[in-house]
C-alpha cells in the first residue's frame, strides 16, 4: 500500500522517472515485503528552479541530478529493514541508471493502516465498525 512520489529535474532523459519508479517498486517487493500489484506512484518532472536544495548536508554533496523519493507506507518496519531498503535503492539506481548515490534522497512517511482508502470510499485495512 505504499504511495511513492518521485520528483526530478527535467534535464533527465525521457522515461527516467518511470525507470526510477520501477527500481523502487522492485526494491519494495524484495526488501520490505510489499505485495505484488501494490504499485501507486506519482512521478513529477520539475524545472530546475522548482527543486530548491542546499549544495550539501551532513557531508553529502548534491548535484542538479538529485532525485527525491518519498514513500508513504504502513508503520512497523524495523530500522535494519529500512537501512537495507535505502541501500538497495541507491545501489540499483547507481548500477542501472548511472546515478550518483549522493543524489538519491529517500523519505519514508509511516502511517497507520486506517489512513488508506484504495477506492469506493472504503477503509480497506482499518478496524471494522
Give the active site residues. 2
The answer to whether the CB of 56 falls within 8 A of the CB of 95 is no
The answer to whether the CB of 31 falls within 8 A of the CB of 88 is yes
CA count, 13 A, side-chain hemisphere, 129: 3
The answer to whether the CB of 56 falls within 8 A of the CB of 91 is no
Amino acid at each position: 500500500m505504499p504511495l511513492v512520489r518521485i520528483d526530478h529535474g527535467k534535464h533527465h532523459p525521457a522515461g527516467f522517472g518511470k525507470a526510477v519508479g520501477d527500481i523502487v517498486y522492485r526494491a519494495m517487493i524484495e526488501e520490505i515485503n510489499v505485495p505484488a500489484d501494490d504499485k501507486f506512484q506519482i512521478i513529477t518532472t520539475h524545472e530546475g528552479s522548482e527543486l530548491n536544495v542546499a549544495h550539501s548536508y551532513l557531508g553529502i554533496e548534491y548535484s542538479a541530478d538529485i532525485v527525491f523519493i518519498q514513500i508513504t507506507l504502513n508503520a512497523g518496519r524495523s530500522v535494519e529493514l529500512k537501512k537495507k531498503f535505502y541501500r538497495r535503492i541507491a545501489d540499483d539506481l547507481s548500477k542501472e541508471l548511472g546515478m550518483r548515490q549522493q543524489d538519491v534522497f529517500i523519505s519514508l512517511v509511516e502511517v497507520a493502516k486506517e489512513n488508506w482508502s484504495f477506492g469506493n470510499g472504503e477503509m480497506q485495512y482499518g478496524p471494522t465498525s
